[in-house]
Amino acid sequence: MTREYNLDQIRNIGIIAHIDAGKTTTTERILFYTGKKHKIGEVHEGEAEMDWMKEEKEHGVTITAAATTCFWTPRDYKTCQINIIDTPGHIDFTAEVQRSLRVLDSGVLIFDGVSGVESQSETVYHQAEKFTVPLVAYVNKMDRLGADFFETVRQIRERLHQNAYPIELPIGKESNFKGVIDLFTRKAKIYKDDLGKEIEEQDVPLLYKEEVEKYRHELIEAIVEHSDDLMRQYLAGEELRVEDLKEVLRQAVIKAKIIPILVGSSLKNKGVQSLLDAICFYLPSPLDKGAAEGFIPGSEEKLLREPLDNESFSGLIFKIATDPFVGRLSYLRIYSGKIEAGSYVLNTTTGLKERVSRILRMYANHREEMQEAATGEIVAVIGLKNTTTGDTLCDEKSPIVLERITFPEPVVSMAVEPKSKIEQEKLGLALSRLISEDPTFKTKVDEETGQIIISGMGEFQLNIIIERLFNEFKLEVNKGAPQVAYKETITLSVKSEGKYIHQSGGRGQYGHCFLQLEPVERGQGFEFVDKIKSGAIPQEFIPAIKKGTIEAMTEGPLAGYPMVDMKVTVFDGSYHDVDSSEAAFKIAAARAIRDGALKAKPALLEPIMKVEVVIPEKFLGEVIGDLNSRRAQILGTRDRGRMKVIDSLVPLGSMFNYITYLRSMTEGRGGFTMEFLKYEKVPENITNQIVGLKSAVVEK
């Protein structure tokens, strides 16, 4: 394959932001200006190309990360191939953002010019920070009533990154927003037509000259700090070349040292071309990002793969989706080498070989067949049967395991059942397909009631799942009320003995172990330690003890919720030369866990949500009083334009149907966002209520 574009011309970017900041609208405008579509689609009209699922069109929000490819040639610069992933803003679909950021080289962080930095803006920024993703910021919706570019810049610096600098300033705001000023060239771009294609370049209007010089001086001072040559010229009072300033800014952006801020109104077709230029100028290519880091399979020895076409092939599957026309799609980011349609690759996560039957370049829900894909590409492949999100694919002659993607645990559950017994099997198959697409969606069968329990990150996500069951699989289900996904833990360190001896005439069963159970810090999970000495238990039985421990921890002693945040150490035991078996030690370990957990003062844990409530000031007292009645911890209040924002931490169990109560308290003018933060111990009186309620349900 001859490359159409060199590696230094490829940009892999994500469009990330709080819900309703304008991510999908901005992506639609990018597709329009780059010639990938000839008609502008509006999210509110259900016409957006990137929101192609029926549920996305109905709700007007992005649910699944959509991938697309387009091409842009800035003035005096080379053409760039831009691979875009438009991610969801709704917190219930945070996993889509997490996995997208893992494979992207950079991101465009979009802010609502009226609302400024919102809660989910902070969350996605910190997700990007975790993966050291270089960013440019885009303050959108400057045409809206209450838009304030400079206040949004202040909030970005205060709450996200202090080295964030405008490289453009708006000309006017609200209904008078008509263009932008380039701080490098000191030129104003005035938009003359509704489609934003007719742009007139002018000198900076007199009214803005002082402001332009102030912010330009600030920007240049920030840039020259990253170059000794420019700093020397600057201190000597020399005129700095715009090209040199842009190149040094690019290097600082790539190292995530500076975030350039642009401005516009995507809905009104203003500022998007400048954003496209900035994506090409400042964001990194795969070459700039450098080698991908991984491990030799089965060891902790590090391996590096350079982003070169002649390297051994390696790539990461970051998303599974089902296309109604071509079937199961596996989205692949290629870090090194090439992959051909019809070739075989090794999945080092499962150890299995897989055949890549077809390779597709995606344009949202449209596709283009490719015979070969190379380093830096984001493509969809067809034919992988045993591969899932987070798996590494590579050349079998040069195996590598790339870092997996981690996802948060579900916090909300709901019971579902088919309308008829005939559809039971069909429901199971449909749910298993949805699980393969979304790593935060899980299912299990409640052993006591026989119901199927579906779990996810929020009510909205589970309701979307139920809509998809109907729309895609023609399945109607009865659903129960949403339930909190509680967990259990221990609060004391105890030693516990587990023994299983069974004689039945022939060969018996013998397993015997001593375990120490210790609580660990919240969120640390489960740790298993082997401290067997002098062969008290043969090494071949230790994995069985660990397996029995993990299985026993799926049901805690208080109310049968999964147990977490425990360290379990096997330190002694005994065995029988003939009768000991893996099954016997597994049962012995499970008994030790169950007995020990009861003695270790078990406690119930509940999900605590970070809640941001936005209301008119006159309702502040009433809303805070209501939150306090929901066991909220009020962190503080702040202003957002003419509205008041209440920041709080609230148990999830108190927040079901909250929007109904909030709207009735605020004459329909209040809104809120909520995201999972951590698990915390439930107060004893509430624990007794929950345990009693769970017991009553089981008895029924």
pLDDT in tens, 465-507: 888 888 888 888 888 888 888 999 999 999 999 999 987 766 7
Mean pLDDT, to the nearest integer, of 129-158?
93
Considering 54-58, 644-648, 686-690, the range whose residues carry the highest mean pLDDT is 644-648
pLDDT in tens, 410-420: 888 888 888 88
Mean pLDDT, to the nearest integer, of 635-648?
88
Q: What is the pLDDT of residue 594?
A: 96
Residues 557 and 488: their CA atoms lie apart, in Å, by 8
pLDDT in tens, 167-183: 999 999 999 999 999 99
Q: What is the pLDDT of residue 364?
A: 55
Q: What is the pLDDT of residue 194?
A: 79
Mean pLDDT, to the nearest integer, of 142-171?
94
Positive or negative, the Cα torsion across 39, 42, 43, 47? negative
Residue 143: pLDDT over 50: yes
Q: What is the pLDDT of residue 696?
A: 52
Residue 590: pLDDT over 60: yes
Mean pLDDT, to the nearest integer, of 229-241?
93
The percent of the chain in helix, strand and coil, each rounded to the nearest 5, is: 30, 35, 35
Sheet with 378-382, strands from edge to edge, namely 352-355, 344-347, 392-394, 314-323, 327-336, 378-382, 358-363, 366-370
pLDDT confidence bin for 55, thresholds 50/70/90? very low
Instruction: Compute the chain's Rg from CA coordinates.
Output: 28
Q: What is the pLDDT of residue 60?
A: 41
Record the tokens describing residue 367, joined without a space: 């596709």
pLDDT in tens, 96-114: 566 677 788 999 999 999 9
pLDDT confidence bin for 510, thresholds 50/70/90? very high
Determine contact, residues 565/523, Cβ cutoff 8 Å: yes
Q: Classify residue 60 by burial, with Cβ atoms within 10 Å: 0-12, 13-18, 19+.
A: middle
Please indicate, yes or no, whether the overall pTM of this predicted structure exceeds 0.85. Answer: no
Residues 312 and 424: their CA atoms lie apart, in Å, by 46
pLDDT in tens, 185-230: 999 999 988 787 888 999 999 999 999 999 999 999 999 999 999 9
Torsion of CA 469, 473, 474, 476, to 10 degrees: -30
Residue 379: pLDDT over 50: yes
Mean pLDDT, to the nearest integer, of 641-654?
90
Residue 651: pLDDT over 70: yes
Torsion of CA 230, 235, 238, 244, to 10 degrees: 10
Q: What is the pLDDT of residue 43?
A: 43
pLDDT confidence bin for 16, thresholds 50/70/90? confident
Mean pLDDT, to the nearest integer, of 236-253?
95
Q: Which of 130-139, 589-598, 670-679 has the lowest mean pLDDT?
A: 670-679
Mean pLDDT, to the nearest integer, of 387-397?
90
- In sequence order, which ranges of 525-631 are alpha helices (DSSP H)? 542-552, 582-599, 620-629
Q: What is the mean pLDDT of the chain?
A: 87
pLDDT confidence bin for 47, thresholds 50/70/90? very low
Determine contact, residues 169/178, Cβ cutoff 8 Å: no
pLDDT confidence bin for 406, thresholds 50/70/90? confident
Determine contact, residues 280/354, Cβ cutoff 8 Å: no
Instruction: Identify residue 665 by its one-letter amino acid code.
Output: M
Q: What is the pLDDT of residue 169?
A: 97
Record the tokens describing residue 539, joined without a space: 């090494």
Q: State what percent of residues in the chain have pLDDT above 70.
A: 91
Residues 373 and 382: their CA atoms lie apart, in Å, by 13
Mean pLDDT, to the nearest integer, of 375-403?
91
Q: Which of 5-14, 331-340, 414-423 has the lowest mean pLDDT?
A: 414-423
Q: State what percent of residues in the chain have pLDDT above 90.
A: 54
What is the DSSP annotation of 403-446? PPPP-PPP-EEEEEEESSGGGHHHHHHHHHHHHHH-TT-EEEE-
Residue 603: pLDDT over 70: yes
pLDDT confidence bin for 598, thresholds 50/70/90? very high
Determine contact, residues 100/65, Cβ cutoff 8 Å: yes
Q: What is the pLDDT of residue 99?
A: 64
Q: What is the pLDDT of residue 562?
A: 92
Residue 51: pLDDT over 70: no
Residue 637: pLDDT over 90: yes
pLDDT in tens, 63-104: 344 678 888 999 878 899 999 876 654 444 555 566 677 788
Mean pLDDT, to the nearest integer, of 652-666?
88
Residues 454 and 320: their CA atoms lie apart, in Å, by 19
Determine contact, residues 82/11, Cβ cutoff 8 Å: yes
Mean pLDDT, to the nearest integer, of 583-609?
96
Instruction: Identify residue 309 by its one-letter amino acid code.
Output: D
pLDDT confidence bin for 624, thresholds 50/70/90? very high
Residues 237 and 440: their CA atoms lie apart, in Å, by 56
